Amino acid sequence: MEALRVIGLRKVYGSSALAVTALAGIDLSVQPGELAALLGPSGSGKSTLLLCISLILEPSAGTISVNDQVIYDNAWTGLDVRRFRREHIGFIFQGHNLIPFLTARDNIALAMTLNGTGDRDARKRALELLEYLEIGARAEALPASLSGGEQQRVAIGRALANEPPLILADEPTASLDTDRGMKVIELLRRVARERKSAVIAVTHDERMIAGFDSIYRLKDGRLEKDPPR
Assign residue 147 the CATH number of its domain. 3.40.50.300
Is residue 4 a part of any domain in this protein?
no
pLDDT score at 38: 94
> What is the total count of domains within the chain?
1
pLDDT digits over 22-45, tens only? 999 999 999 999 999 999 888 788
The answer to whether position 194 is within a domain reads yes
Write down the mean pLDDT value for the chain: 90
Query: Positive or negative, the Cα torsion across 218, 170, 50, 36?
Result: positive
Pairing, β 166-170 against β 69-73: unpaired
Give the pLDDT band (50/70/90) at residue 220.
confident
Domain-located, residue 214: yes
Residue 130: inside a domain: yes
Q: What is the pLDDT of residues 94-125, one digit of tens each?
A: 778 899 999 999 999 999 999 899 999 999 99
Q: 142-151, 175-184, 192-201: which range is least confident on average? A: 175-184
Mean pLDDT of 80-94: 90
Does any domain span residue 20?
no
Q: Which segment of 13-17, 46-50, 117-121, 132-136 scores lowest on mean pLDDT?
A: 13-17
Asked if residue 61 has pLDDT above 90, the reply is: yes
- With cut-offs at 50, 70 and 90, classify the pLDDT of residue 181: confident
Within the chain, strands assigned E span 4-13, 20-30, 35-39, 61-66, 69-73, 89-92, 166-170, 198-202, 214-219, 222-225
Judged against a pLDDT cut of 80, whether residue 229 lies above it is answered with no
Q: Is 53 inside any structural domain?
A: yes
Q: Residue 57: which of 68, 70, 72 has the closest Cα? A: 72
Cα 58 from Cα 62, distance rounded (Å): 10
Residue 54 located in a structural domain: yes
pLDDT on residue 201: 92
Domain range for 123: 32-58+79-225
Percent of the chain whose predicted confidence (pLDDT) is above 70: 100
- 189 assigned to some structural domain: yes
What is the DSSP secondary structure assignment for residue 135, as one 8-state letter?
-
